[in-house]
């Protein structure tokens, strides 16, 4: 995989893990790297926008545009985050467009945009905001995206819908020491090969440990497993 793609994935992972400062630092490094492709910069824009939003910083306006539907959707997501604080009605429209453009990606960015749209509707005082949040809650729960589910639950509580403020990962205690070590290494940006060398095992063992952790945690991807454990640890 190209170095720029790996760096982007590290930024996206940091944001998914609730580490917006790390995500922003990596994003700036990649954006300032010579010859970074336009596609990578487009994928990076919503990651940077959400990181800035989470840190309470001014959100950078998008600078990379494209007629390709997926990239156009990413630009709209970044624009939606830009308006989320001061113009939630506009943010709701842009984030809905972004979610629809990424609807084939059932885990991650499209769900994040769909939650952002529902949250924007709540902030705008839309009559159907709760219905939208409940629909997103079901989609995110089915995907096993525990950290995002916690954000949806916060939105619902702010909308007056009771939701338990429970730790997403009480189940993290089910993991073995080895499984937690692998997840910690991957969360730190290690590749499968690097994790295998650090633990003194083969790459197939690393993959098996990650798959075991995913199954125990009840999430649909390895990224979900890493993010969910990080959510529990952070809380």
- pLDDT reported for residue 235: 43
Q: Please compute the mean of the pLDDT values over residues 43-48 and round it to a whole number.
A: 91
Write out pLDDT tens, residues 151-191. 898 999 999 998 865 443 445 556 788 888 887 787 777 78
The set of residues, in sequence order, having a beta carbon less than 8 Å from that of 6 and lying 6+ positions away, is 191
Rounded to the nearest integer, the mean pLDDT of the chain is 82
State the CATH class of domain 3-158.
mainly alpha
CATH of domain 170-234: 1.10.10.10
- The rounded distance, in Å, linking the Cα atoms of 18 and 52 is 12
Contact 34, 6 (CB under 8 A): no
Strand, helix or coil for residue 214:
helix
Q: Is the pLDDT of residue 17 over 80?
A: no
- Cβ neighbors of 113 (< 8 A, separation 6 or more) are 46, 73, 77, 80, 95, 96, 98, 99, 102
pLDDT at 103: 53
pLDDT above 50 (res 106): no
Cα separation, 61 vs 45, whole angstroms: 9
212-226 tens-digit pLDDT: 877 776 665 666 666
For the chain, the structural domain boundaries read 3-158, 170-234
Please give the model's pTM, rounded to 2 decimal places. 0.68
């Amino acid at each position: 995989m190209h170095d720029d793609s790996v760096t982007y994935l590290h930024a996206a992972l940091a944001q998914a893990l609730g580490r917006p400062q790390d995500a922003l630092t990596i994003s700036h490094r990649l954006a300032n790297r010579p010859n970074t492709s336009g596609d990578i910069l487009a994928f990076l824009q919503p990651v940077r926008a959400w990181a800035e939003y989470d840190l309470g910083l001014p959100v950078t306006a998008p600078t990379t545009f494209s007629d390709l539907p997926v990239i156009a959707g990413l630009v709209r997501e970044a624009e939606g985050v830009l308006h989320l604080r001061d113009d939630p009605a506009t943010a709701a429209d842009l984030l809905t467009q972004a979610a629809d453009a990424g609807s084939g990606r059932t885990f991650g960015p499209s769900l994040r945009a769909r939650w952002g749209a529902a949250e924007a509707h709540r902030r705008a005082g839309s009559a159907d905001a709760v219905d939208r949040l409940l629909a997103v809650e079901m989609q995110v729960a089915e995907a096993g995206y525990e950290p995002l589910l916690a954000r949806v639950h916060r939105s619902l509580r702010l909308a007056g819908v009771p939701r338990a403020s429970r730790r997403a990962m009480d189940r993290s205690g089910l993991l073995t020491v080895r499984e937690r070590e692998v997840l910690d290494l991957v969360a730190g940006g290690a590749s499968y090969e690097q994790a295998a060398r650090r633990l003194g095992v083969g790459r197939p063992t690393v993959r098996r440990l990650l798959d075991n952790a995913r199954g125990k945690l009840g999430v649909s991807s390895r990224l979900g497993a890493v993010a969910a454990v990080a959510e529990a640890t952070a809380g």
